[in-house]
Each structure stands twice: as structure tokens, then as C-alpha cells.
Structure 1
Amino acid sequence: MIQELIQSYGQHFENSLIDEILQVGTFKEVPAGHTLMNIGEYVSAMPLLISGVIKVLREDRDGDELLLYYLEKGDTCSMTMSCCMGNAKSEIRAIAETDTKLIMVPIQKMEEWLAKYKSWRNFVFDSYQNRLNELLQTLDSVAFDAMDERLINYLKDKVRFSENNVIQNTHQEIAYDLHTSRVVVSRLLKKLEQLGKIELGRNYLRVLKLD
């Protein structure tokens, strides 16, 4: 775990902070599909992602989900930090997109490290800025981009994160992430197949060329 932590966060944190994280952090390994955080739960620790990918989702009043952003190696979730600092319930759902390793940092340490370590303050502020930019991109995408463009970007992200051109998701699961209907997703995927960009299978698809 020591080497993995240094590889993921050594460029962000000084050695003394790395040592403290190792002392108080809890190492976790979770499989793809595991729910790390649910809406309405109180948050007692903040995740530092060592490897893998986590998708962060928001739910509307009807229970439909919208994909907000992905977290990758070296990231943390600013919404989780906000809940920790305010002792508030989570308003997002976090699900492991791939097999994931992470270190959970107790909330008691977060404020202490803000005062103690400049590198931690910079990391927290950068994380807020990065997540805000991603949220704005999501908002722009929903408001201005056509659904076929959103779908193509979604598929590109899936391939990049998994490093595999085979995507093991049903049309309904994709529709949930994009906050649209299965019928729309199926129609657009069929169109992409006809254009030779993907190959459709049963509960999976293979990306051939999306550029």
C-alpha cells in the first residue's frame, strides 16, 4: 500500500503527510459495481483513489440517475469532502466503475491537515476546482449537446477508463447514466453500428472507431 500511495499522491503530498495518511487511513479494495456511498448516508471518511475508476451520480425526484463525473487515480470527491466538513448527508451516489483500491481518511483529520499542510490545502482546493469544471461540462452537455454526441463521449470515457474496447453494459444501464430512455439509447447505438463505429452484442458492445 505504501508504494501505491506514493505513486498516486507523492507528487501532491510531502513525506510527513504521506506518513500520517498511512497511520490513520483505512485501505479498501472493492469490486466493480460496488456502491461506495449512497444518497442519504452520513459520510465518516474521505476517499483517496489509489487505482480504478469511480462514477459519481445524482438522482432526481423520480429516482432517475445522471452521471456527474468520474474519479480516477490520484483523485478525491469534493462532494464527499463537503459532506464531511458539514456533517451532512450525501447527495450523490458513488459506484466503482472498475475494481478499485482506495484509502479512507477519517473526517477528523481533514480540518487538522488544512491548517497543518499546505500541500493538503492545495489538493483540496484543486479538487474542488476540478470537480466544479467537470460539473459545468456535464451541465453544458445536458443543456446544449445532442444525445448522440453525449453517447459517443460516454463510450469514449468507458473505453479509456477500462482500457478495453468491449463495454459490458446493457442499453438500460447506459440510459440511466445519460439520464435518457432505453429506446433512445438503443436507436442511437443501432445508428452507430450501421456507421461501422461499434458492434452490438447481447448485453455488451464493442467499440470499433469513434473518432
Structure 2
Amino acid sequence: MDNLEEILEGNGFEKELVAEIKNIGRSKRVSSGGVVVSADLGSEEIPLVLSGLLKLLRKDDQGNELFLYHLQSGETCAMSITCCLEGKTQDITVVAEEDSQLWMIPMHTVDRWIQRYKSFRKFVFRSYQERFDELLGALDGIAFLKMDERLMKYLLDLKQASGSFVIKKTHQEIAKELNTSRVVVSRLLKQLERDDKIEQHRNRIEIL
């Protein structure tokens, strides 16, 4: 709860809103790899990250998952809010990248809070802007960067989001999130290692 207090105060939420968030929300701990939001679960809650790291994925028509962006401490899922306001079914999946502590907020409160509390409106709009900027970065990476540059950008973005130089992922997991093959990822990681940009260990990569 201490981290919740810090996050709510850091966003300048009104006292009445802070009280509502505390009373209506609930704590949830998710282990690494656990699904937080998905169409199959039919979730009616929005996660506010207290600690840990979440990743947001989107499936294409063939069922392939494409990594979009990460959610860190103090952030929430703007796409979940959009689906809530428009009454749409989630077409995204939010998964815990590492063990995470969340504060789950019922979706039915969001519209009222946006209308009633100026601080919450600013929080939602800021979340939209940050996610939009990250999506533009992901789009630029797909459109303009070669695969080796995309891979290095992915590793650096993950380092920035997690705060760790050690990336605990297999080649297959990285390939899935970049929508490419494991063979391609393994070959490019070997090249990055030869260039002294990374060191590879069993199921983990260290950025130099």
C-alpha cells in the first residue's frame, strides 16, 4: 500500500479520488508470465502497476502476437481505458514481464472519474500520449530499422523499462515478440556479441 500512496500522491489526485481508488480497487500480485488482461478472461478491471513490469501484446489475424510496449510502476493501460469507454471487447493481452504488484480498478468507475476529477483526466490523457509515442517508436522500428537494429532497440527498451542490464529471455521468446524466427534472432544475437554489445548466458542476455 505504501507504493500505492506514493503513486497517487505523485499524480496529484484529489483527496476524494484517492479515497475512492483505495476503497474500490483491490491488490493483485501476478507472477512472471501471468495474464492480467485478455479477451478470453473477460476482465472488467484496469491495472495500475505498483511494482514490476507488464507487457502489452496484440494478436494478428493468424494468431501471432506482436509486442507493443511495456507498463512500468505508476502506469496504467490506456488501451484498456479506451475499450472501457467505448464498450468494446479487449483485442489485446497484458502479461506480466516479471513478478508484479498491481492495483486493479473496476472499469465502470473510469468514465465517472474522468468527468469528475481534473487530475484523473490529466492522468488518462498523459497515459494516451505516452503510449502513442511508444507505438510510433515501434512503428518506426518496423518501417525503418533493419532487424538487427530492431533487436538492439528492443533489448535497450527492455533494459530501460526493467532497470536491469540483464534480460531474462530465451531466443524463442524474443523472436515471438519481434514477430520473426528464432534462427534469425540467434544469428543476430551472436553478431551483437561479437560486436561486444551483449554477452549471452543460459536463458539470459547481458547488455554491455
Q: TM-score band (shorter)? A: over 0.9
> Does 2:24 correspond to 1:10?
no
Q: TM-score, normalised by structure 2?
A: 0.93
Structure 1 unmatched ranges of 5 or more: none
125-134 or 195-204, which moves further after superposition? Answer: 195-204
User: Alignment RMSD, CA only?
Assistant: 1.5
SS in 1 for 2:164: coil
10-19 or 36-45, which moves further after superposition? Answer: 36-45
The one-letter amino acid of 2:88's match is A
> Does 2:20 correspond to 1:20?
yes
Aligned counterpart, 1:187:
187
Following superposition, the deviation at residue 41 of structure 1 comes to: 4.5
Q: Deviations over 1:141-196 (max 9, x none)?
A: 11111111111111122333333333221111001111111111111001011112
Structure 2 unmatched ranges of 5 or more: none
> Does 2:43 correspond to 1:43?
yes
The one-letter amino acid of 2:195's match is L
Aligned counterpart, 2:84:
84
Aligned counterpart, 1:133:
133
The one-letter amino acid of 1:28's match is K
Taking the aligned partners of 1:42 and 1:85, their CA distance within structure 2 comes to 15
Report how many residues are paired: 207
Contact 1:83 1:89 in 2 (8 A): yes
Instruction: Map 1:37-186 to 2 at 5 A.
Output: 37-186=37-186
Taking the aligned partners of 1:53 and 1:87, their CA distance within structure 2 comes to 26
Q: Deviations over 1:94-152 (max 9, x none)?
A: 11111111111112211111121110111111111211111111111111111111111
Residues 163, 121 of structure 1: CA spacing in aligned structure 2 closer, same or farther, 3 A cutoff?
A: closer
SS in 1 for 2:121: helix
Taking the aligned partners of 1:4 and 1:166, their CA distance within structure 2 comes to 24
20-29 or 38-47, which moves further after superposition? Answer: 38-47
Taking the aligned partners of 2:102 and 2:55, their CA distance within structure 1 comes to 14
Q: TM-score, normalised by structure 1?
A: 0.92
Contact 2:70 2:161 in 1 (8 A): no
Q: Which consecutive segments of 4 or more residues in structure 1 shift more than 4 A? A: none
